Structure 1
C-alpha cells in the first residue's frame, strides 16, 4: 500500500479520541476539554474510558466502577459526539494503556484512535508500560495542565499539543469538598451533582 492509499484509508476512519481516567467523579473540566476537542480539535467522537484501576492510583481513591460509569453517562447523554465506555472493565487488571489501545484497534478496525493525556501525564510518560510503543504506534493529543509546559519542538511526530482552555479542577478537589459539606454544584454537571448527593451524600 503506497502513501496516498494509506492517507485515503486513514481519512475514512472515524477519528476517535480516547480520554481515559478514573472520573471519580467526572466534572466540568473534563467535559469542557472533551467538548473543545470535538468542536475545535477535529475529533469525530470522544470516548470517556472509565478505568477500573489506574496502576498509578490507590484503589481507595476510586468510587465504585458502575457508579462512576453512571455519572459519566448522565453527564454526556445530550451530546452525540461523546460516549461513555466501560471497555476496560472486561480487560485484565491493573489496566495498562498499551493493552487497551491494542484491544481497541483490534475490536474497532473502522476507527482511528487518538490518546488524550494531560501535560502532567506527559511529563511522567516514561513510567508508563511500553511507553515507546504507545508513542510509535498511536497518535497522542496533549492538553495543558497547570505548571506543566510542553513545547512542540520537544514532541515526537505522533504527538501534538492542543491549545484547549485550562481548567484547574480535579476530582480529588471535588471529593474533598463534598466530604466537608461544600455546595459545589457548579463544578459538576447538574445530573451528576444530583446523583452524587442522592447516593453519596457524605462522600
Structure 2
C-alpha cells in the first residue's frame, strides 16, 4: 500500500504552533499517513532582510518536528533552480519516491487562485488537494467546489502569523506560547528577529 504524504509548503519564518496544529490535525483526522513541511527557499531575486537563511528555517522546522513521528521537514526545494513551481517539485518528489502518493495541502485562499498556478490541471490530474479553511471572503471557483480530488478539511482556523511573531520578538514581547519550545530555544540562542 502506498504511503499518502501531504505536502505543506511555507517559508516557516518562523514555524509556530499554528503550523504544528494544522499539520498534526491533518495526520490525525484525514487519510494522510504523513505531512511534510516543505520549506520554500529564499528567492535570489527577492532578498528580504526579515527572512532567515534557508538552513536556519530548515533547522527551526526540523527541531520542532523531531518528536512527531508522522511530521517531517523537507528541504527538497533548496536544491532546485529558482524560480520554482509546485508542479516541478511534485514531479521531482514522485521520481525520488515512486512508492509515495503526494498530495497538496493549501488554504482556501490559495484554492481561489489555484486556476492561475502553472500546470494546475496536471497537478489535479495526478494529486489530491487537502484544503484548510481560512477566513477568506472570496468565492471558491465552481470548477473546484465539488471536485473529487479536492477535500475540504475541518482543520482549526488559527489566527497567528509569522510576521506578527517577528514583530513581537523585535518589540521584546513574550512569544514563547506561540512557538514550539525547540523553535523558540533556537531563535533565542541565535538572537533572530531582534532587530
Fold shared per TM-score above 0.5: yes
Q: 5 Å matches for 1:113-192?
A: 113-148=102-137, 154-192=145-183
Shift of the alpha carbon at 1:40? Answer: 0.8
Q: Is the contact between residue 52 and residue 95 of structure 1 (CA under 8 Å) also seen in structure 2?
A: no
- The match for 2:47 is 59
Q: Is the contact between residue 42 and residue 54 of structure 2 (CA under 8 Å) also seen in structure 1?
A: no
Shift of the alpha carbon at 1:194? Answer: 1.2
Shift of the alpha carbon at 1:132? Answer: 2.1
Q: How many residues align?
A: 191
Unaligned runs of 5+ in 1: 1-11
Find the residue that maps to 1:20 and give its secondary structure: strand
TM-score by length of 2: 0.90
- The match for 1:94 is 83
Picking from 47, 69, 74, the partner of 2:58 is 69
Matched, 1:194 2:185: yes
Computed over aligned residues only, the root mean square deviation of the Cα atoms, in angstroms, reads 2.1
Shift of the alpha carbon at 1:63? Answer: 1.2
TM-score by length of 1: 0.87
Runs of 4+ in 1 over 4 A off after TM superposition: 148-153
Unaligned runs of 5+ in 2: none
